[in-house]
Structure 1
Amino acid sequence: MDLALLRTFVAVHRAGSFTRAAALLGLSQPAVTSQIRTLERQLGRPLFHRRARGVTPTAVGDELAHKAAPHLDALLRIAETEREASGTSRTLHLAGPPEFLCLRVLPALAPLVGQGQNLRTALAPDARESLDGLAAGQHDLVVTTSRPRGALFTTSPLCDEELVLVAAPYWAALTDPAELRAKGPEALDGIPVVEIHESLPLVTRYWAAVFDSVPDCAATVVVPDLRAVRECVRAGAGLAVLPRYLCRDALDRGEVVALLEPALPPLRTWFLAVRTGSLALAHLARAHDRLLRAAALW
């Protein structure tokens, strides 16, 4: 059986789409369709159900993917070992929210640069945009708080971060923690809200976990970088929900104040996402492993 046909088949199985698989393989969509039809004729069985949006595998398709994919990944791993031995460098393309990439991911990967690794980053606050780019082959690795689903992605938990409700001392002095515990968000009426998006993603997560409610306020300041949110809060623009690691120094210096310290603080989980099978690439596997080990100390 032609390995090129199997490679295309596994790409379609993982991508769930002829078009997406074609982009990942560097082929035209008609070429991918033709190769799948050729393989189906050789096997005498349909491998995919054609849907309005993409394809889903038949039972035969699932069985073939289960058998073939590990061997194709092993062959890719062998080819990558030979490539590394020849001294050919690869560039790692990663994407994620700007503050997490800048303060967590890039410092952890920096030692790899001294070992010949090239890095390119896409600062993308929107998780869907990052994952679409990963699916399309624009990125190799994405850090995200939205766990992707589907066979196209392989996802590993990276770390949990604690969320803190903070404000500048001026606003904190106007807020009674006991009243906040008793009344909930009502006690914060009149304090402006600073967020990374109009949908209030961090405020909504905090309100749900701590107050068992949804926010009925709108953001006064919206800026798509949590470092900028922190600086706005520090300057007195209002309250915000921030990861503790990002505001720890400001809390220690008294520049911002935690308005509440719940017994069970809300957490946000970060994930590492790659395209399934791509960890056979040595440079990607090395970065992936380094991030997992670094995150144990975060």
Structure 2
Amino acid sequence: MDLDLLATFLEIHRAGSLTTAATRRGLSQPAVTGQLARLEQQIGEPLFVRSRRGVTPTARGDDLARRVGPHLDQLRSAISDGDSGGDALYGQVHLAGPAELVTARVVPALAPLAARGLRLRISVGLAGDLLSALANSRLDVVVSAVRPTLKNVAATPFADEEFVLVGPPTLARTVDPALLATDPVKALGTLPLVAYAEELPIIRRYWRSEFGRRPSNEVAVVVPDLRAVLAAVVAGAGVSVLPRYLAEPALAAGSVELLHHPHMAPLNTLYLATRVGGLAHPSVALVHDHLMKRSRLWGAL
């Protein structure tokens, strides 16, 4: 069970509102709705009854909150103690990473440190460019989707992204289920692709991992932002491979559907990179340690 889903569930249970829970978790309301739908799917029954006034827990929801609440509170307390409570912070840290992950997870996770006085300067971009900037002392911390290989850069495995192949319902209905089971490449071969880059880095990795070959599909749209890729898929331009954390709200809303169900979810490890010796700086070490602790609550993204 994903601890991130349980943490969101507990906030909903205590707040009685998806909107309030989203604010407390530092997430969008669609993201909270998607996480709740995923948890209810895993458990196999509703945890809340929705109404105009908010949400009311079911008997199963009350039981789950009673069982997991104390344990999550203890874990949060341990993390807070490790961050020196509410003491004022000083210094400035330059951090960078992929725009989508920085927006969805990194900025909300670091907001408490900024509230205590730490100055954060955050950039987004491609891993290669950001790692070069880190090596040249223009950045302090980089969240990288590729393993750094530069000699003066140290990296720690940070979190795992889970990837899903999604498409709009209109295209999903054109896929032959029987052919998909026996020859998925042929079954999916007529679907246009929406890609992050011309080289199809994410899509190509998924095809090789799951189907053992490169995709031969026509590429309909290329846009260097995964949020825009998702928007294009929702609008019906084609299908794509996206991190589950990004696709989850659209999956919960029914605006996209899973086109393939792998036996084991394809994962990509994210790394938290600093310059060699960079953790000797107290502010950099604090940000690094804080993000590592928060990532343990996320599970696979």
3-state secondary structure, aligned to 1:99: helix
- Say if 1:198 and 1:218, in contact at 8 Å, map to a contact too: no
| Greater mean alpha carbon deviation, residues 172-181 or residues 220-229 | 172-181
Corresponding residue for 1:144?
144
**What TM-score do the two structures reach when normalised by structure 2?**
0.68
Provide the rounded CA distance (Å) in 2 between the counterparts of 1:268 and 1:226: 15
Unpaired segments ≥5 residues, structure 2? 1-86
- How far has the Cα of 1:190 moved from its partner? 2.6
Matches of 2:123 and 2:219 in 1, distance apart?
A: 26
Distance 1:159 1:168, change over 3 A: same
Q: What is residue 217 of structure 1 aligned with on the other side?
A: 217
- Call closer, same or farther: CA 1:151–1:170 in 2, change over 3 Å: same
> Structure 2 CA distance, aligned partners of 1:292 and 1:176?
43
Match of 2:202 in 1: 202
Once residues 294 and 256 of structure 1 are traced to their aligned partners in structure 2, the CA distance between those partners, rounded to angstroms, is 29
**1:234 matched to 2:234:** yes
Measured in 2, the distance between the counterparts of 1:222 and 1:134 equals 28
How many Å separate the matches in 2 of 1:101 and 1:228?
15
Compared CA separation, residues 98 and 88, structure 1 to 2 (3 A): closer
- In the TM superposition, 1:95-244 aligns within 5 A as 95-124=96-125, 126-244=126-244
Distance across 1 between alignment mates of 2:202 and 2:262: 16
Name the aligned partner's letter for residue 122 of structure 1. S
CA contact (8 A) 1:177 1:259 kept: no
**Deviation at residue 119 of structure 1 after TM alignment:** 1.0
The 1:89/1:245 distance shift into structure 2, 3 A limit, reads same
- Note the C-alpha offset of 1:115: 1.2
Identity %: 43
Q: Which residue of 1 aligns with 2:289?
A: 289
- Is the contact made by 1:196 and 1:223 (CA closer than 8 Å) also made in structure 2? yes
- The amino acid that maps onto 1:293 is K
Is the partner of 1:186 in helix, strand or coil? helix
Deviation, structure 1 residue 120: 1.0
Shift of 1:165: 0.3
| Unaligned segments of structure 1, at least 5 residues | 1-84
Query: 1:93 aligns to what SS in structure 2?
Result: strand
2:282 and 2:115 mapped to 1: Cα distance? Answer: 16
User: Runs of 4 or more off by more than 4 Å in structure 1?
Assistant: none
The whole-number CA distance in structure 2 between the counterparts of 1:238 and 1:222 is: 11
Look up the equivalent residue of 1:166 and give its one-letter code: V
Q: What is the CA RMSD across the aligned residues, in angstroms? A: 1.6
CA distance in 1, matches of 2:182, 2:143: 37
- The answer on 1:94 being equivalent to 2:130 is no
Q: Secondary structure at the match of 2:219?
A: coil
State the Cα deviation string for residues 184-226 of structure 1 (Å, max 9, x = none).
2221233211111110011111001110111223522111111
Separation in 2 of the partners of 1:157 and 1:195?
26
Distance 2:204 2:95 in 1: 27
Q: Distance in 2 between matches of 1:133 and 1:164?
A: 31
1:152 deviates by 0.5
Distance (Å, rounded) in 1 between the aligned partners of 2:89 and 2:220: 50
SS in 1 for 2:199: coil
1:149–1:275 Cα change, 3 Å: same
Q: Is the 8 A contact 1:155 1:273 kept in 2?
A: yes
1:57-72 to 2 correspondence within 5 Å?
none
Cα distance in 2 for partners of 1:162, 1:178 equals 25
Q: Which moved more, 1:234-243 or 1:210-219?
A: 210-219
**Secondary structure of 1:121's partner?**
strand
Deviation at 1:181, TM superposition (A): 3.0
CA spacing shift, 1:261–1:89, aligned 2, 3 Å: same
Tell which structure's C-alpha radius of gyration is larger: 1
1:244-259 matches, cutoff 5 A: 244-259=244-259
Q: Is the 8 A contact 1:195 1:240 kept in 2?
A: yes
Aligned position for 1:74: none
State the 1:88 CA deviation: 8.7
**Aligned amino acid, residue 161 of structure 1:** E
Do the aligned residues in 1 keep the contact of 2:144 with 2:270 (CA within 8 Å)?
yes
3-state DSSP of counterpart to 2:213: coil
Q: Tell me if the contact between 2:185 and 2:211 (Cα under 8 Å) persists in the aligned partners.
A: yes
CA distance in 2, matches of 1:158, 1:95: 14
- With normalisation by structure 1, the TM-score equals 0.68
Distance 2:176 2:276 in 1: 50
